[in-house]
């Protein structure tokens, strides 16, 4: 194997690759990146048996300057994080790779590195995903949809299905749901499917989606999503992202969303976030990050207390108030994570009572986004 490549192209690819390299594994080869030099491109692969990432580097038609020249095809596995550190510190923009007997020689200017590699035939194969059915949408829409739902998934794996975001496709509406049983985020977006799809629903692991947020660039370019054979494949430009899906039945959330409310307010999103952030300075001193809300026709009072540090109280004025005066306690962190997904200037919050779930929705938004939070039960709430 021999090839010459632009340093920046290789560096960008490796920076993405190392995101899926495991921090601990019983299979040393999984610490490596598999590099395949083909006649017109380089293929870099990382796979931890749950998440796989493939980065393609090739000369594009519109580029006048070649970023890559493959002189002899071949394949090798090299420790990914160590290779990244080497490439990052190379002195010149051109990098030459040579491979002989599983030993890679990397040269840039006067710097020469000789690295022991592993046989690429021992590297696990990425899953074969039948991609006859592809769902397409803009990259930015996919990323925004994930951001608005993945924060609510469970991090404790006692109920595996709740550690992922549920995707459901029906009548050109894609519904994403994340919940940890204490809070919930439900988002509906319109998609142009153009044809009938055999899949109706899938559960994508929350950890996988968090990595996808870091790897996939936000743009209006289209992403292809394939769900088949308990696997997910996402294609975007030169990025191929694989993940195993979570098996199991996702709970029916329709029965837990209230339809009638005792109290409703419309309030400025930014003002509410800032007020809760101030109250959270004391709320973080207790286990449940508890703050108290006192809702009255002309004011919403937010308080938090700490036996050691004292008390914070702040009053903000809602734009509208309907219903009964109400007091309840809730988790400040849950409230902030929910409110920070709201894109609109104002937010609507609807309450069913001090011990029942309340609903958060954006005001005057094109987005069909509903969030639910269970209050904290206190003796003196």
Q: Which of 60-69, 279-288, 352-361 has the lowest mean pLDDT?
A: 60-69
67 pLDDT tier (thresholds 50, 70, 90): confident
At 279, give phi and psi (nearest 5°).
-65, -30
What 3-state DSSP class applies to 353? coil
Q: What percent of the chain has pLDDT over 90?
A: 79
Give tens-digit pLDDT for 157-201: 889 999 999 999 988 899 999 999 999 999 999 887 656 666 789
pLDDT of 54 strictly over 90: yes
Mean pLDDT value across residues 254-260: 90
Give tens-digit pLDDT for 81-98: 999 999 999 999 999 999
Instruction: Name the β-bridge partners of 296.
Output: 299
Q: Long-range contacts for 107-111 (Cβ within 8 Å, ≥24 apart)?
A: 108/7
Q: Which of 105-114, 222-231, 342-351, 355-364 has the lowest mean pLDDT?
A: 222-231
381 pLDDT tier (thresholds 50, 70, 90): very low
Contacts of 223 (CB under 8 A, 6+ apart): 136, 137, 138, 139, 142, 216, 234, 235, 236
Model confidence, pTM = 0.91
Report the CATH number of the 2-122 domain: 3.10.150.10
Contacts of 77 (CB under 8 A, 6+ apart): 29, 32, 33, 34, 35, 117, 118, 119, 120, 122, 123
Mean pLDDT value across residues 270-287: 87
293 pLDDT tier (thresholds 50, 70, 90): very high
At 43, give phi and psi (nearest 5°).
-120, 120
**Chain region(s) in the chain for CATH 3.10.150.10:** 2-122, 135-244, 257-373
Q: Return the pLDDT at 283.
A: 76
59 pLDDT tier (thresholds 50, 70, 90): confident
Residue 78 tokens read as 């090299």
Give tens-digit pLDDT for 21-40: 999 999 999 999 999 999 88
Q: What percent of the chain has pLDDT over 70?
A: 96
CATH superfamily of 135-244: DNA Polymerase III, subunit A, domain 2 (3.10.150.10)
Mean pLDDT value across residues 145-163: 95
Q: Which of 19-28, 133-142, 276-285 has the lowest mean pLDDT?
A: 276-285
Mean pLDDT value across residues 102-124: 95
Fold of 257-373: DNA Polymerase III; Chain A, domain 2 (3.10.150)
Mean pLDDT value across residues 204-217: 95
Mean pLDDT value across residues 142-147: 97
> Quick check: 5 and 12 in contact, CB under 8 A?
no
Cα(302)–Cα(297) distance, integer angstroms: 14
Average model confidence (pLDDT) for the chain?
A: 92
């Amino acid at each position: 194997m021999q090839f010459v490549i632009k340093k920046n192209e290789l560096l960008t690819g490796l920076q993405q690759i190392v995101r899926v390299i495991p921090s601990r594994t019983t299979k040393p080869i999984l610490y490596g990146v598999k590099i395949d030099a083909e006649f017109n491109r380089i293929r870099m692969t990382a796979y931890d048996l749950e998440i796989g990432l493939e980065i393609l580097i090739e000369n594009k038609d519109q580029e006048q300057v070649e970023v890559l020249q493959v002189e002899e095809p071949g394949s090798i596995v090299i420790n990914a994080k160590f290779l990244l550190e080497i490439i990052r510190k190379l002195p010149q923009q051109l990098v030459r790779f040579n491979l002989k007997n599983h030993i890679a020689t990397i040269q840039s200017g006067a710097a020469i590195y000789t690295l022991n590699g592993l046989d690429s035939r021992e590297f696990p194969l990425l899953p074969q995903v039948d991609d006859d059915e592809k769902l397409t949408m803009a990259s930015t829409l996919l990323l925004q949809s994930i951001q608005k739902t993945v924060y609510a998934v469970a991090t404790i794996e006692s109920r595996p299905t709740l550690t992922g975001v549920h995707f459901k496709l029906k009548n050109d509406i894609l519904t994403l749901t994340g919940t940890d049983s204490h809070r919930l985020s439900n988002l509906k977006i319109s998609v142009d499917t153009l044809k009938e799809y055999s899949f109706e629903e899938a559960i994508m692991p929350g950890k996988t989606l968090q990595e996808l947020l870091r790897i996939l660039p936000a743009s209006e370019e289209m992403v292809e999503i394939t769900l088949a054979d308990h696997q997910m494949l996402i294609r975007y430009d030169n990025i191929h992202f694989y993940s195993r899906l979570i098996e199991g039945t996702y709970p029916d959330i329709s029965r837990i969303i209230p339809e009638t409310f005792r109290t409703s307010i419309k309030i400025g999103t930014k003002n509410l976030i800032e007020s809760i952030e101030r109250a959270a300075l004391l709320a973080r001193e207790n286990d449940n990050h508890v703050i108290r809300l006192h809702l009255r026709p002309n004011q919403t009072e937010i308080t938090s207390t700490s036996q050691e540090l004292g008390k914070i109280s702040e009053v903000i004025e809602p734009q509208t108030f309907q219903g009964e005066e109400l007091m309840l306690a809730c988790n400040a962190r849950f409230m902030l994570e929910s409110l920070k997904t709201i894109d609109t200037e104002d937010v609507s919050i609807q309450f069913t009572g001090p011990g029942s779930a309340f609903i958060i929705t954006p005001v005057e938004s094109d987005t069909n986004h509903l969030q639910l939070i269970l209050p904290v039960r206190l003796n003196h709430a």
